[in-house]
Amino acid sequence: MNDTAIDTVVAGWRQWAEHQPRIIGTLSGGLSNSSVLLQVADKRCVLRLNGKALGVDRLQEAAARGCAAQRGLAPALLFQDPNQNFQISEYLPGGIWTEADLGDPSQLSKLAALLAAIHSLPAIESQLDIASKIALYKSMQRYHSVVLAKLEHSIDDVVNNICATAQPYCLCHGDLLAANIVENEGRLWALDWEYAAMSSPYFDLAVVLEGQYIDPVLQRDFIEQYQSLRPQALIDVDSLHQWRILYGYLDALWYALQADDEIIAEQVELKVARLAAMLKY
């Protein structure tokens, strides 16, 4: 947590609030951004310091989130710093999802409904450029995985096949993991829209299914429930598997960017081992 940067934003409160805010405490977050809970008069809001997330377009993030907030799928964005250093958002009391939610069939039904609703949102300008994102991540690597290097030829074949196949595009969240879902009075809301872009719905499905552990039987139920809500999205098992490989590759590369210690390096190798197993499908 960058306390100095937080204090600077709070000290300049007059550009984004009518009343002087009070810091209540820190909020759990990812590796890229830092967040604190603020009290502003009789309301609470979230101050998020934007980290240096590679390839993120903050204006497009705001556009996607604005669409989602209008449909009651995301907290409202109250202020966007013109320099894109921070944002102020509505605070939603409730619980952040955990692994336990991913093992509950009724919770996964809610997640299928949330994802289907996101995929029905209006389009934004930003489109996922898979090749460019991979090239960017690879150009910034600080950790070299010998196993991943051996897999790259097979992965390139998968990526080329996906890029050469016409895809129906929709607005995708891009990072709909349990840590980015808050439940308020039985209703799900999606947080952290920085990776939102127009892409194939397969990408978001791959994030949900490959980015965290869900029992294989529950995975099948989740896909069926999602498809029942979006009958126009005919899910092909082989195509979904290729997108899961693609997401697994991006995920491993992203974590390799953070690999400054043995713990994260170990996580990278676990993700690479998972990739190797999928490529034998």
Of 91, 119, 136, the residue that ends a domain is: 91
> What's the CATH number where 87 sits?
3.30.200.20
Average pLDDT over residues 137-153: 92
Percent of the chain with pLDDT over 70: 98
Q: How big is the chain by its Cα radius of gyration, in Å?
A: 19
pLDDT for residue 1: 59
pLDDT in tens, 199-237: 999 999 999 999 999 999 999 999 999 999 998 888 999
**pLDDT the model gives residue 29:** 63
CA dihedral 69, 70, 76, 77 (to 10 degrees): 90
Closest to 199 in 3D by CA, of 111, 117, 123, 116 = 123
What is the chain's mean pLDDT, rounded?
93
Domain end, chosen from 67, 91, 115, is at 91
- Per-position b or e across 135-150, b if 16+ CB within 10 A of its CB: eebeeeeebebeebee
210 and 108 within one domain: yes
Asked if 191 and 180 count as a contact pair (C-beta separation under 8 A), the reply is: yes
**Of 151, 182, 134, 177, the residue nearest 31 (C-alpha):** 177
Range of the domain at 112: 96-278
Question: Average pLDDT in the 87-98 region?
Answer: 94
Let me know whether 81 and 61 are in one domain. Answer: yes
Query: Are residues 63 and 16 both part of a single domain?
Result: yes
Alpha helices in the chain (DSSP H): 3-11, 58-70, 99-102, 105-118, 130-139, 146-164, 201-210, 216-229, 237-257, 262-278
Are 167 and 240 in a shared domain? yes
Tens digit of each residue's pLDDT (9 = 90 or more) over 48-68: 998 877 778 899 999 999 999
Instruction: For 204-216, give one letter per residue: b (16+ CB within 10 A) or e.
Output: bbbbbbbbeebee
Domain end: 91, 117, 132, which one? 91
83 shares a domain with 100: no
Task: Please indicate, yes or no, whether residues 35 and 83 belong to a single structural domain of this protein.
Answer: yes
Residues 61 and 169 in one domain: no
We report the CATH number of the domain holding residue 239 as 3.90.1200.10
